[in-house]
Amino acid sequence: MTIELIGLENIPIVNKGDDISQMIKDAILKQECSIKHGDIILIAETLISKVEGNFIKIDEINPSKEAIEIALKSKKNPKLVEAIFGESNEIVEVGPDFIISETHHGFVCANAGIDESNADEGLATPMPKDSDKSAREIRRYLEEEFGEEIAVIITDTQGRAFRNGAVGVAIGCSGIKALWKRVGEKDLYGRKLETTEIATGDELAAAASLVMGQADEGLPVVIIRGFDSFDKLRDVDSSITSLIRPKEFDVFRK
């Protein structure tokens, strides 16, 4: 199997109200890479939040007493800490340079997924309100325009427990299962798999992140082509919630 990663050039700086689906279509046509059956379009979440007008005006926030106290412990801007409160169901842990929280979506990550990079001065972008919905709308538009079955995944960059560094993860999807349950299949020695589940959405997001980059690469949309399990995992009703571990099974939270 050969997988191709295609970074879409000609995606401009976006603003609230821009039609991101049309922008992606135009970029595909200009780059002459077309769309093929089974293509997976991966889009950085910051792009989605911007066009949906999902901004936080950090400078206008009045931090609470609790935010100021946690800011001292985490060495973060108290205004940012208050913003993290606003995007969280629960503060899970506070460290010398991090705040781990559970977002309203159910993701457990640093800073509630609020991103201060690649945004105008004084602004930050929280996670999109409903990344599954955004992915579904973009997928339907591109499928209609190009006449091919595809998938769309909204990506973020997050750290991981017990490992340094950040990787791309999926926070929204449409057209493909984000979790591949392989229980019952056989390994090379004929033994049945009993617990194996693959976070396909995260693996695809991590691959795309190599092309997207984290600085000034300017490639927030990546096409993955040649993933030969696309048809097996095709699901127009997919949701990112399949990747979220239920709290009762989260043995690392007190």
Asked whether residue 157 is marked as a ligand-binding residue, the answer is yes
Reading the block at residue 167, the tokens are 């990787």
Asked whether residue 216 is marked as a ligand-binding residue, the answer is yes
Asked whether residue 46 is marked as a ligand-binding residue, the answer is yes
Asked whether residue 155 is marked as a ligand-binding residue, the answer is no
Residues 6+ apart with CB under 8 A from 200: 176, 177, 178, 179, 180, 229, 233
Using alpha carbons only, how large is the chain's radius of gyration in Å?
A: 19
Determine which helix (DSSP H) or strand (DSSP E) holds 223, and give its type and residue range: strand 221-225
Asked whether residue 218 is marked as a ligand-binding residue, the answer is yes
Asked whether residue 102 is marked as a ligand-binding residue, the answer is no
Asked whether residue 212 is marked as a ligand-binding residue, the answer is yes
Q: What 8-state DSSP symbol labels residue 190?
A: S
Asked whether residue 50 is marked as a ligand-binding residue, the answer is yes
Asked whether residue 118 is marked as a ligand-binding residue, the answer is yes
Asked whether residue 18 is marked as a ligand-binding residue, the answer is no
* Alpha carbon distance 174, 177 (integer Å): 8
Asked whether residue 59 is marked as a ligand-binding residue, the answer is no
| Residue 180 Rama label (left phi>0; alpha psi -120 to 50; beta) | beta
Asked whether residue 45 is marked as a ligand-binding residue, the answer is yes
Residues at the binding site for a divalent metal cation are 115, 156-157, 214
Residues at the binding site for GTP are 11-14, 45-46, 50, 118, 212-219
Residues at the binding site are 11-14, 45-46, 50, 115, 118, 156-157, 212-219
